[in-house]
Amino acid sequence: MLQLGYFGLINNQNMRLNKFIAQATGISRRKADELIANGKVSINDHLATLGDKVEPFADNIFVHGQEVFLLSEQVVFALHKPAGFITSNTGHTFKDRLVYELLPKDKKQLRYAGRLDKDTSGLLIFTNNGELIENLTHPRFAHEKEYLVQSAFAIRDEQVKKLKKGVNLDGELVSAVAVILKDVQAVSITVTEGRKRLIRKMCDAVGIKISELVRVRIGSLRLSELGLGEGEGRVLREKEIAKLLESS
């Protein structure tokens, strides 16, 4: 379902339709182009075409027959996700616990910028800014994500060396940006990729049995700096958003 809202322009200058839709709904520009190409978008009383421009506060834009519009501000919300919660707003069974249960009522319309699996805790970002979501999640922007791995057993030097060298996953060599041994049973792994369960697969490939996994940093924004206990969250300040977008 489309999420209405987002921060937008303060004037009525023409802007590209795909950018407007991205800002108004939280989806990417590529997805907006797909909707336009498939005849799902209209401007006023006619179907939109790729490359169209609109006047944000004069034209009426509809997606799937639903009008979308710009609001006056963006929201970026940080959550300290506990283990045991699924990064989704719909569960597979009635027993599933969802991260949206942890958001304030007025933040439940926000979309997450990258997932954490059920058993992983740590920093999770929500926003109504579609371009920010793409910026944080698309590999070409190479934003660093740092994870702290707690092992059930002592971590051997050879395992750390293998992680630094890179591991073969599905026929592809995958390397970390940094691998730092914290103590005998803890290692920090920093990556720029966001593929599903990547850290778990890397550790499994070198024989590290994870007992706890926490995402402690995105960009230069560290979970420890936010003052959030597990299950707590808050809106980020402008300086914090800037740190979020830094790669290291």
pLDDT digits (tens, 9 = 90+) for 19-35: 989 877 778 899 999 99
Angle at 7 (CA atoms; ends 64, 102), nearest 5 degrees: 85
Reduced to 3 states, what is the DSSP secondary structure of residue 156? Answer: coil
Residue 194 structure tokens: 């966001």
- The size of the chain, in residues, is 248
Q: In the beta sheet, which residues pair with residue 217?
A: 146, 222
What does the pLDDT read at residue 101? 94
7-11, 86-90, 224-228: the lowest-pLDDT one: 7-11
pLDDT digits (tens, 9 = 90+) for 96-150: 899 999 999 888 878 899 999 999 999 999 988 877 888 898 888 899 999 999 9
Cite the active site residues: 117
In this prediction the pTM is 0.74
State the pairing for strand pair 41-43/210-218: unpaired
Domains of the chain (ranges; CATH) run 15-68 (3.10.290.10), 76-139+221-244 (3.30.70.580), 144-218 (3.30.70.1560)
User: 63 and 40 in contact (C-beta within 8 Å)?
Assistant: yes
